[in-house]
Amino acid sequence: MKKSKVGTSPKANSPSQLIDARIKELADWRGETLSQIRSLIKKSVPEVIEEWKWRGVPVWSQDGIICTGESYKDKIKLTFVNGAKLKDPKKLFNSSLEGNSRRAIDLNEGDKVNVAAFKSLIREVVALNASKQKGKSIGKV
């Protein structure tokens, strides 16, 4: 695979433009999957902030990181920084299960996303992030 040019000049493009370029660059099932995930996040959290961090990783935030969207040769990995604190009744998390904090969803070619469960998980992350922000503001004068 050709070395990526996306993100070589982060000041020239907004994070949203860089994510658009990454999706286009992938040009296969990974781009389609990343695009679908992005759309689901935006539908779940219309005021989501898109970021471009760590030399080329799409990040979605609202009062803190919701998740990252890393692309690999064989998968799209969605990492949830505080995933261990979330309820996951539909067992979406299938990676990084041993840690104390983060959890991930690895999506491979042909995997179908449980849309309702994913959107619910995204809203739960946003609620957790908001509760942490409220906790930080308590005691400030």
Task: Give per-residue pLDDT as tens, 113-138.
Answer: 999 999 999 999 999 999 988 766 55
End-to-end Cα distance, the chain:
54
Q: Indicate yes or no: pTM above 0.75.
A: yes
pLDDT of 133 reads 80
Looking at domain 15-133, which of 2.60.120.10, 3.90.1150.200, 3.40.50.150, 2.60.40.420 is its CATH number?
Answer: 3.90.1150.200
Domains of the chain, residue spans: 15-133
Length of the chain in terms of residues written: 141
Q: What is the pLDDT of residues 61-108, one digit of tens each?
A: 999 999 999 999 999 999 999 999 999 999 999 999 998 999 999 999
Provide the 10 A C-beta neighbour count for residue 25.
15
- Check residue 13 and give its pLDDT: 87
Q: Which pLDDT band, with edges at 50, 70 and 90, does 57 fall under? A: very high
pLDDT at 49 over 80: yes
Task: Give exposure, 35-54, as e/b (b: 16+ Cβ within 10 Å).
Answer: bbbbebbeebbeebebbbee
**40-47 — which CB contacts under 8 Å span 24+ positions?**
40/113, 40/115, 40/118, 40/119, 40/122, 41/66, 41/67, 41/122, 43/119, 44/119, 44/122, 44/123, 44/126, 45/122, 45/123, 45/126
Q: How far is CA 104 from the centre of its chain?
A: 10
